[in-house]
Structure 1
């Protein structure tokens, strides 16, 4: 591999017809694999028996890239070190660096200390991000209510206030306050 592939690269969508056929092919094979135990993916070369099996993670990257390009979006591939600084972690989470430090100090996010620097394993950060997302989705589900047309908006508002108050109390108890 050349050094240029170790830098961030952005790819713009082009040749929509070709992308559409690749996306269609991948989609058709995604629906077929649901009944199989363990799907296998291959990359084929120019020669008849020139092929190599792709790891599932690389296949997922291909699926996401093709879907985005077929939708007319640009795709940026940005190689990342497996250990991140607190600033890189903050950028990935979309929060401030002090927030990442607080998460580490509270024990919510693991890190390694290298001298006076904190390094966060990418896999730990991605796991934290997914857990946070699931908590957010659950909070949305917990605070939603079905409303009928004949229901009084003030009564609905009161129900929502009670639900939000209960969620806040649950968060306080979980945090140990």
Structure 2
């Protein structure tokens, strides 16, 4: 497997505006077309060319547009891509030493290539998802405790 570069696309003001305009149209399309392939019309000047893409690609496009519309940088990394520890740390927004600790503790799967660690992007994203669920659960529990104690 090869190591994937994680180079985000940072939207400028024009891109943010275009993404914000396109997002509701893509979301509306997905709501109206719930099954099968999505048909996207790509227009180049006066000529229109029809392109058929998998629904998952259109769903991914909607997520990308949502982030761009909010001014966030976006990168797309295949789940099977191998990341360096620095890339994985950046994806999680943690320091490299902290990530190494997670790897050594068995929280995220990795393999060694010589003396270097390689981490599957899918493993990093699975860890991120588990942690998001754990944090959300803890926040819900705190909110419930606050309500029980009439602190809200």
TM-score with structure 1 setting the length: 0.62
Shift of 1:146: 4.8
Task: Check conservation: 1:68, 1:75, Cα contact below 8 A.
Answer: yes
Kindly provide the CA deviation profile for residues 87-111 of structure 1, in whole angstroms up to 9, marking residues without a partner as x. 2211211222222112111111100
Task: Check conservation: 1:89, 1:120, Cα contact below 8 A.
Answer: yes
Partner of 1:76: 73
How far, CA to CA, are the matches of 1:16 and 1:45 in structure 2?
Answer: 20
How far, CA to CA, are the matches of 1:98 and 1:17 in structure 2?
Answer: 38
Does residue 1:104 correspond to 2:106, yes or no?
no
Does residue 1:122 correspond to 2:125, yes or no?
no
From the superposition, tell whether residues 14 and 79 of structure 1 become closer, same or farther in structure 2 (CA, over 3 Å). Answer: same
Partner of 2:25: 25
Structure number with greater Rg is 1
From the superposition, tell whether residues 96 and 23 of structure 1 become closer, same or farther in structure 2 (CA, over 3 Å). Answer: closer
Partner of 1:43: 40
How far, CA to CA, are the matches of 1:60 and 1:7 in structure 2?
Answer: 21
Task: Check conservation: 1:26, 1:63, Cα contact below 8 A.
Answer: yes
Task: Check conservation: 2:67, 2:74, Cα contact below 8 A.
Answer: no
Partner of 2:60: 61
From the superposition, tell whether residues 75 and 39 of structure 1 become closer, same or farther in structure 2 (CA, over 3 Å). Answer: farther
How far, CA to CA, are the matches of 1:79 and 1:16 in structure 2?
Answer: 18
From the superposition, tell whether residues 26 and 135 of structure 1 become closer, same or farther in structure 2 (CA, over 3 Å). Answer: same
Q: Which has the higher contact order (CA 8 A, sep 6+)?
A: 2
TM-score with structure 2 setting the length: 0.70
Q: What are the ranges of 5 or more consecutive residues in structure 2 without an aligned counterpart? A: 1-5
Partner of 2:132: 133
Could you say what the CA RMSD is over the residues aligned between the two structures, in angstroms?
Answer: 3.3
Task: Check conservation: 1:86, 1:100, Cα contact below 8 A.
Answer: yes
Q: What are the ranges of 5 or more consecutive residues in structure 1 without an aligned counterpart? A: 1-5, 157-177
Partner of 1:11: 11
